[in-house]
C-alpha cells in the first residue's frame, strides 16, 4: 500500500512538471554499448541550438565527431518529447 501511494504521488508530481533545465531539455538516459544518449524536451520551448551543442560535446568527449538523431517519441510526461541520438564517426574520403 505504501509503495502504491508513493508511486501515485510521484506520478502526480511528474505529470505537472516541465523540463526546467537551462535550454528546456535534459539528458535522461545513455547506452554506452550503442553510443546513444536520450534527451527529454518540450518541443514548444526548448533551445535546439543549445541541445545540439550539448550533444556535440557529449559525443566529442567519447571520441566521436558526428551525431545522428533517431526518431523522436512522446514522453511518458504529457506534452514532452524524448529522442535518442547516436554518436558516430564521420566518413572521411
Among residues 31, 32, 43, 34, the alpha carbon closest in space to that of 72 is found at 43
- The predicted pLDDT at position 5 comes to 44
SS3 for the chain, per residue? CHHHHHHHHHHHHHHCCCCCCCCCEEEEEEECCCCEEEEEECCCCCCHHHHHHHHHHHHHHCCCCEEEECCCEECCCCCCEEEEEEEECCCCC
More confident residue, 9 or 2: 2
User: What is the structure's pLDDT at 61?
Assistant: 95
User: Is residue 24's pLDDT more than 50?
Assistant: yes
User: Cβ neighbours of residue 90 under 8 Å, at least 6 residues apart?
Assistant: 65, 66
Boundaries of every domain in the chain: 20-88
Does position 14 have pLDDT exceeding 60, yes or no? no
Amino acid at each position: 500500500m505504501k509503495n502504491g501511494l508513493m508511486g501515485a504521488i510521484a506520478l502526480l508530481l511528474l505529470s505537472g512538471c516541465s523540463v526546467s533545465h537551462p535550454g528546456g531539455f535534459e539528458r535522461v538516459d545513455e547506452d554506452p554499448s550503442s553510443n546513444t544518449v536520450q534527451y527529454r524536451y518540450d518541443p514548444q520551448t526548448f533551445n535546439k541550438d543549445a541541445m545540439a551543442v550539448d550533444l556535440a560535446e557529449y559525443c566529442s568527449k567519447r571520441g566521436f565527431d558526428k551525431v545522428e538523431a533517431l526518431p523522436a517519441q512522446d514522453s511518458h510526461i504529457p506534452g514532452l518529447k524524448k529522442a535518442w541520438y547516436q554518436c558516430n564517426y564521420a566518413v572521411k574520403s
